[in-house]
Amino acid sequence: MYTGATTLATATGAAATLPYTGTGGLTLLWVTLGGFAVIAAGAAIRRMLPRNEA
Amino acid sequence: MIVALIPAHNEEAGIGACLDALLAQTCPPDLVVVVLDNCTDRTREVAELRPNVETFETRLNTHKKAGALNQALEYMAPWFDHNTRVMVLDADSILAPDFLAEAVRHLDRGYSACGGNFRGQPGAGMLGMFQRNEYARYARDVARLKGRCLVLTGTATVFTWPALRAVRQARQADTLPGSSTGFYDTDVLTEDNEMTFALRTLGYTVIAPKGCYLTTEVMPTWRALARQRLRWKRGAFENLRQYGFNRLTAPYWGRQLVSLVGIIITAVYLASLAAAPVLGIHIAPLWMGVSLIFMAERAVTVRERGWKMMLLGFILLPEMLYDIFLQGVQAFAYMTAAMNRKEGW
């Protein structure tokens, strides 16, 4: 039922609130979340596009 | 012949509207049977007020909906033939007038089961609104997949009799997981999800076309919603464990993985907010731009519900709180599954 889109938005939020320090675990987390958010953004755009429905 | 079975446990409040919508179908059923399961209210009286509605009373059933349906199907099986279509309908659901006609059209095209696309009924204030938006998005997703659904909903599905019979035969021959030997597996929390797996495992094709539209009740309280979702999430996970990992279940496992990642990310997000006084908040234009995409997605995907709901989706935060609640329930479901704690309805 749950699509996860809003959750993926939290990845964006998390990447936005976590500081990019240049080194260390926090940066790794920042990059992971940011990467995930960008992939999810692509999926979100796809979900918005018109498509023929059954 | 189309036979409609409506399992009912104390449903006097909703069964009248359910039956009226069923009897008003453009392609009405030949037989309507309300399966009275341990009812202590006026369900029977309300049902029998309608013309052409029969009742069947379960005996010593302790397996809730699945057990009630098994008893009714076993009793009626001798009268069914390979042309019989069996509809299973929840007593709190209301069908659109063309539901059955649309379902029959798809069964005639070769599908073995045709499920409904449900929307939420009015009521329950803000909580009801969240659920209606959620249901509308799910229906939109299924429609965009041309009816390829993950689950044949328990709210309303029409089966061909040969498919249902084959499921029972496979259970009796022990070629399906679980220890049940009836039509429905009585040991699971989500019998509709398990039935979908059973049919697809046996090679039957299923669909939930856009035209099979119905409305069903929304949960009136957060506590009721948590109980419902705990059952759904735990049940779906248990069904997957039952059927293991294979080509059929791989997409379902994929969804579980995405959900789990989502839960972890949300936890990180909430932790990062909690740590903000120490770490500081670093809002960057890039991320604000990315957030705008999600805001637009939330609005566009509820377009059919009108501009007010689109605005609610666009604001993001209220629905995000609802989603975080659902994720909390799902995390709890994983935890109870990991601990092998028994869950009931």
Query: Six-digit token pair at B55?
Result: 């009742």
Residue B228 domain-assigned? no
Query: Six-digit token pair at B53?
Result: 């509605």
The distance of B22 to chain A (nearest Cα, Å) reads 23
Residues B204 and B263 in one domain: no
Higher pLDDT, B64 or A21: B64
Residues B60 and B111 in one domain: yes
Q: What pLDDT sits at residue B196? A: 97
3-state SS, residue B233: helix
Q: What pLDDT sits at residue A1? A: 43
Residues B27 and B124 in one domain: yes
pLDDT tens-digit series, residues B302-319: 999 999 999 999 998 899
CB contact under 8 A, B258 and A4: yes
DSSP, res B336: H
Residue B304 domain-assigned? yes
Residues B148 and B276 in one domain: no
Residues B136 and B208 in one domain: yes
Residues B197 and B55 in one domain: yes
Whichever domain contains B94, its CATH number is 3.90.550.10
What b/e readout covers B270-290, taking b as 16+ CB neighbours within 10 angstroms?
eebeeeeeeeeeeeeeebeeb
Range of the domain at B295: 250-338
Helix (H) or strand (E) holding B95: strand B93-95
Residues B140 and B10 in one domain: yes
> Over 50: is that where the pLDDT of B250 sits?
yes
The distance of A23 to chain B (nearest Cα, Å) reads 15
Q: What pLDDT sits at residue A9? A: 67
pLDDT tens-digit series, residues B118-163: 999 999 999 999 999 999 999 999 999 888 888 999 999 999 999 9
| Pairing state between β B113-115 and B156-160 | antiparallel
pLDDT tens-digit series, residues B177-187: 988 889 999 99
Contacts of A16 in chain B (CB under 8 A): 281-284, 287-288, 291
**For an interface test with A, which of B152, B265, B316 has the most A Cβ atoms less than 10 Å from its Cβ?**
B265
Q: B28-32, B127-131, B289-293: which range is least confident on average? A: B289-293
Q: What pLDDT sits at residue B68? A: 97
Burial of B342 (0-12, 13-18, 19+ CB in 10 A): exposed
* Residue % of chain B over a pLDDT of 90: 79
Shortest CA distance from A39: residue in chain B: B290
Residues B96 and B173 in one domain: yes
pLDDT tens-digit series, residues B57-87: 999 999 999 999 999 999 999 999 999 999 9
Q: Which residues contact B299 (CB under 8 A, 6 or more apart)?
A: B310, B311, B313, B314
What span, in angstroms and rounded, lies between the C-alpha atoms of B179 and B186? 9
Domain ends where: B220, B238, B270? B220
Looking at the DSSP assignment, which residues form a beta bridge with residue B167?
none
Q: A35-49, B22-36, B208-222: which range is least confident on average? A: A35-49
Residues B39 and B152 in one domain: yes
Residue B234 domain-assigned? no
Measured CB to CB, residues of chain A less than 8 Å from chain B are: 1-20, 26, 29, 33-34, 36-38, 40-41, 44-45, 47-48, 51-54
Residues B107 and B166 in one domain: yes
Rounded to 5 degrees, what are φ and ψ at B266? -60, -40
**Mean of the per-residue pLDDT values for chain A?**
73
The answer to pTM > 0.80 is yes
* Touching A: B residues 138-197, CB under 8 Å: 138, 141, 143-147
Helix (H) or strand (E) holding B33: strand B31-36
Residue B237 domain-assigned? no
